[in-house]
Every structure is written in C-alpha cells, then in structure tokens.
Structure 1
C-alpha cells in the first residue's frame, strides 16, 4: 500500500472517530425540553359543602284534645290557613261502660237532690214559724245546695263522656282549628280514622301539620374536621337541587355542640336562615347543598398545584426552578392555603422564578425524585 493511500485511510479514520464522538455527545444530552411558569398573585378561597335540606323555620303539629273518630276533613294539604280556621271535626265515640257509670251517678245525684229538697222545704216551714233554730235550718240548706252541685257535676261528667265536652263548649274540643297562620303541609288522617288525644303516656295522633313557608332554613351536616372553622353569622350560598342555576343567600345561625356518628365519621348539624326569592316556590324538604367559605386570602403569591412534587423520604413539597445556565435547581417550599387548583406559597420561590412544568414522568425524572 502506498504512502498516499495510508494517509487517506488515516484521515478517514480520524473523521469517523470524530463523528462517533460528536454523535455520542449529542445523544447523551436530554431531548426532553420543559416549559416554565412563574408564580402569580390571586385570591384563594377554601370552601366546604354541607349537604342537607330546606325546611320551614316554624312548623307545628295539631293534635286532638279528645279521643274519637275523624268526622270531617274540611281542608286539603297545601291549603293556606289563618289562625283559627277550621281544619277538621272529631266525633266522640264514648265508652259504653263509662257512659252507663256516669248515667248512674247522675241518677243517684237526682235522688239526693229530691230528698234534700223535701227536707229543705220542711225545715224552712218550721224555721219560718220559729220552731227550730237558724243553725239547724242553715245545715239543711247547705246539704240541699251541695246535692244540687253534685247533680250538676255528675251531669257535666256525663256530657263530657258522651259528647266530648260539657255545655256550649262542646265544639271547642271536637273542632280541630289552625293554631297558626301558614300552609298545611300534611294531613295524615282521613275521615273515619280513630284519633287519640295526647297525654302523659301517648304523644297523640297528629291530625295536621302547619308551617310558615315564607320563612325557610337550611339544615345540613358538616364533618368534624371542618366544623371548628365555622363561625356563626357567616354568609353562605344554598343550592337547591330542584331549582337549577340559582343560589340563595343564607346566614349561618346554628352549629350543633354535639355531633353524631354516621358511617364512621362524626357529623355536626348546622342551620342557616335562607333569603327566599319570590320568583320561586320553595317546598319543604327540598334537598340542598350549602357552600361555606372556610378560608379566604386575597392577592397571595401562588402557583398551580400541578407544579408540585413531594420528596419520597421527607414528604416535603418542592419545585424545580430554572437557573441561568439552563439547568433546574430543586427548591423546597412552605405552603399555605389551597383551593384544590392553586396553592399559596409562603416560602421557597419568588414571583420572578421560572418553575418547571413537569412533562410526563421519564426515567430520569424518577431517578431525580428518588
């Protein structure tokens, strides 16, 4: 082989080696490129949602004052009533044994009255003639008056057992009237049903329930982890499932001092006065949700939560910030309030820092996190 051929081969070999080195270095560089974002100032609002329903503020149940059978139901559910309006009437069905016993007491009282009347007339004639003393006459007169009073009491007892009341007040017990103005929500009885008056051993039969539909409240429950952040008087928004696209303002006025366990979690009852809109008719028992602001911070330095990473060992949050040479430096952060999308930054980065937007995780990224 000639000297010229050797030189050509050597040059080709040098170029080939140089090309290999160049391609090797080029391939060694990461082909992954990252975009960046800078922190920004925004308002962060942390909310909780309480599920519940809207119910009337004032609702009463009307029960009978006597035991009997519903004779007539004069109004329907949904009717608007004023205090004193007649809703239904009750017919008394007396107990036969009690009725016979009461009738016997009346007859006995009449016998005593008749006997006392005869004695009274005889004694009065003698007293008028001066035959007997005044004290003896007054004693007989007292016995006669007591007998008449006993007869009256026995007759009243008989009328109460027979009709439900004595004298002209009979309708006061048999008439079921509205005790407040409002709307009849429910009449759970019908004509012919037997009803029982309330007493020490029985709550009695509910004939009707009435509520003022112009005053509604939201009643719901919140978890124990959030109840400590609630404050009475807080303005909230109530969304009613049956009325889409409308939120009703409300004010929190009650937070239960004691919780109840439901499904392994302790729930606390809350109530809020709802401001109604005349355009909508709100029915009692509508399901509703209440948006309650727990924390609100205005114009705080924030980043998107998607930019965060968490150290597997310390579990501390961090981001990677772009440096002047194009490399990224890990910065541990101290976080504040989060709304699920943005998170407040207390320490770690400034508003001018360029934070890496993480692409789909690669092996190199995983090695860095490890």
Structure 2
C-alpha cells in the first residue's frame, strides 16, 4: 500500500509540474498565442486530461485506501447445550361427541309420557318416552296366553304318548304348536318394548322435539319447530350426546405425518393439550386414532383425541386450540431462536472464536418452538452470539456485556 501511495504522489507531482510549466508558459505568451496554441494542440490536451483522470480513478478503484479497523461490538452470548426437547404441533380443532344417538320411534304410535327433561343427564337404559302401549300390551297378553296353552298341550301329549293313546306324530305336532306360540309371544313382547323407548348410551339429552299426544311414525324424522302461527315437526324425538369423555378432532399437515406415525420410543405417546380459552385450565388427553388417508383438498390428515370432560365445559362443535406432543428429540443441540441469522443464502450463526472474534457458520434448522431452536452444524459447548449480531461481520471483534455474564452464571 505504501508503494501505491508513492506512485499516486509522483503522478500528482508530475501533473502539478506540468500545470506549473503551462502557467509559466502562459505568462510568457500572450492570449492570442495561447488560444492558437490550445486550438492547435486541443486533441493532445484532451488526451492528457483523460489519461490523468482515468489513471487516478483506476488506482482508487482497484487499490482503495485501507479502512480503519471496525469497532468492537458489544454482544450477549450463550453456550450450546444438548438436551431433550419435545416436538409440539399446534392446530385448531373442534369438539366432537364420543357417541351421539338420535332417538327415533320404531313403531307408529302416540307419545303417552315423557320421562326426561331437556338437558338432563341420563344413563344407559334409562326410560325416555312411553308410547300408548294398550294395543301392544293386549296383543302380548293374548300371545302369551296362547303360548302357555300350547305348552300345557305339549306336556299333556307327552303323558298320552307314554300310555300310547296318541301317536308320535301327534306329539310332534303339539311340540311345533308350542314353539310357534312361544315365538309369537316373544314377537309380541318385542313390539310392546318399542312403546318404552330407553337411552342406549349415557349422556346428556338435548332439545325434546315431541309432546304427549304427538303421533310418531317409524322411519319418519321428528322435530318440532314453533312459529307465531304454527308448529311443524321434523328430525329426532331427542338426541343423546355422550359428553364425558369427549373427543377433539383436528388436522395435521401431511409434512408432519412422519412425526406422528414415524418410529417413536414406547414412552413417546401421542398426547394433546386442549386450550378452551378464557379462565378454563388446559385439559390433557390422548390421541386414539389417526385417519388412514390424507384429505387431498387440504393436504392434511384428521386426528382424534379423547379428553376428560367431567365438569361439562366442552360441548360438540366448540372450537379449541390443540397442542400435540408428537415425539421427543433426545440429545439435541438447542439454541435461542434469536441467535439464528437468516438471509437469502440460508441460516447461519455467529460462533465466538479465540481472541474474541466471531465466525459466521452455516447451520440447519431442525425444529423451532417457543423461542428455542434445534440445529445442526455447530458443536456442543460452542459459544454463540445471541444479541448484538446486527452490526457483526465475520472476523469482527466482540466484547460480552454484563447481561451475558449474568446469563452465563444462571
């Protein structure tokens, strides 16, 4: 660089001498002669000026003056540590019932009595509705009487065949009559049971859509819609919904499927945390099914988990936030997310070198969540720059602040 400065000084010196010579010459020559000389040598003068300017520009461009050393940057640092970190997948889901049954009649009849109230909690087997059972009860009593008589006739035929008063064929006919009568009695009993509608599951009753005296028919949807002028009936008599336990359904992107279906340790169960919002505490649950196909319209797979709902805070259709714990990364290199430098060339990180200088190393981001990042490309116990990296350059000098020392002590 000293040689370059000397060359520039000599060039400028020669230029100054040339201009001094021209100036002395101008003093000796009058103006007309000067103009005549300039006009006769204008090309040479222009070439000389262009050469001088070009040489100066080239020297400054290709051999710039050395800049002053960059100032020391104040930074905070952290030491890269290995730890186990769970992979969390966040999603928005909705609550769905574990079981839901629309109660509909199996026979055409009139509602005689309603044994439940809207919103009531019922158990499996609880009586919900009683239909007008007079006709079916009479048919059952008639069939039962005929079955009892056929049974007595068959027993009598067994006594007579021992005394050889009747043939074996007559006894067989008596037995067939008895079995037919008993079957008719059982059929009448089943028909009678249709008049007593019971809950097949435990759950909570919804809106009751019938009233005492309402005519219901098998295969017909029943519900009651009241307006100012009329009442119309469609849908179910009532819907029983199981609310405890209850299910939460959500979707997981297809790119995250390997995290939930890939190889995991036995201890890595697929668990979820359901956030209801408001003052309700998050609820823990377990995933019990991952759908066997991806929905191509959204590029995601459906997942269902079951959670406890003893307090009844969740109802079907409710939107919730879900955190799915997919697996645990063991012995992972965990760094603060703000230490990662991202640009068009990828992800990098400033690593402190001996002599309090830094080196910019390329890294690969494996997983990020809540201010922590799992990376590869650096080593355990490397000291990395967390804050103050905005003005850093590779090879730059650094100085740790007191915040860094406190963080290191903690």
TM-score by length of 1: 0.57
Separation of aligned partners in 1, 2:198 and 2:380: 72
Separation of aligned partners in 2, 1:85 and 1:324: 78
Residues 206-261 of structure 1, C-alpha deviation per residue, up to 9 Å, x if partnerless?
Answer: 21222443332222222222233214982423324266352322111101112335
Match of 1:300 in 2: 332
Separation of aligned partners in 1, 2:366 and 2:123: 55
Separation of aligned partners in 1, 2:275 and 2:362: 43
Separation of aligned partners in 1, 2:279 and 2:115: 36
Separation of aligned partners in 2, 1:66 and 1:351: 77
Do the aligned partners of residues 299 and 259 (structure 1) sit closer, same or farther apart at CA in structure 2, a change above 3 Å counting?
Answer: closer
Match of 1:88 in 2: 129
Which ranges of structure 2 fall in alignment gaps of 5 or more residues? 1-64, 134-183, 221-233, 395-410
Tell me the CA shift for residue 318 of structure 1. 1.8
Alignment partner of 1:51 out of 89, 92, 112: 92
Match of 2:80 in 1: 40
Match of 1:134 in 2: none
Matches within 5 A, 1:164-313: 172-190=193-211, 195-198=216-219, 205-231=235-261, 234-241=269-276, 244-260=279-295, 265-276=298-309, 278=310, 280-285=311-316, 286-310=318-342, 312=344
**SS of residue in 2 equivalent to 1:260:** coil
Do the aligned partners of residues 198 and 259 (structure 1) sit closer, same or farther apart at CA in structure 2, a change above 3 Å counting?
Answer: farther
Match of 1:116 in 2: none
Residues 93-143 of structure 1, C-alpha deviation per residue, up to 9 Å, x if partnerless?
Answer: xxxxxxxxxxxxxxxxxxxxxxxxxxxxxxxxxxxxxxxxxxxxxxxxxxx
* C-alpha contact 1:331 1:349 (8 A) present in aligned 2: no
Residues 267-318 of structure 1, C-alpha deviation per residue, up to 9 Å, x if partnerless?
Answer: 3221222245x5x234431433331123422453332222222453xx3322
Separation of aligned partners in 2, 1:189 and 1:260: 39
Which ranges of structure 1 fall in alignment gaps of 5 or more residues? 1-24, 93-155, 157-165, 366-370
Separation of aligned partners in 1, 2:130 and 2:329: 61
**SS of residue in 2 equivalent to 1:333:** strand
Alignment partner of 2:346 out of 316, 319, 344: 316
Runs (4 or more) in structure 1 with deviation over 6 Å come to: 166-170
Verify: 1:79 aligned to 2:120, yes or no.
Answer: yes
Do the aligned partners of residues 26 and 274 (structure 1) sit closer, same or farther apart at CA in structure 2, a change above 3 Å counting?
Answer: same
Do the aligned partners of residues 181 and 49 (structure 1) sit closer, same or farther apart at CA in structure 2, a change above 3 Å counting?
Answer: same
* C-alpha contact 1:307 1:358 (8 A) present in aligned 2: no
TM-score by length of 2: 0.52
Separation of aligned partners in 2, 1:183 and 1:79: 6
Separation of aligned partners in 2, 1:255 and 1:53: 15
Tell me the CA shift for residue 349 of structure 1. 4.4
**SS of residue in 1 equivalent to 2:299:** strand
Q: Which moved more, 1:224-233 or 1:45-54?
A: 224-233
**SS of residue in 1 equivalent to 2:118:** coil
Do the aligned partners of residues 64 and 242 (structure 1) sit closer, same or farther apart at CA in structure 2, a change above 3 Å counting?
Answer: farther
Match of 1:28 in 2: 68
* C-alpha contact 2:73 2:391 (8 A) present in aligned 1: no
Do the aligned partners of residues 58 and 28 (structure 1) sit closer, same or farther apart at CA in structure 2, a change above 3 Å counting?
Answer: same
Tell me the CA shift for residue 35 of structure 1. 0.8
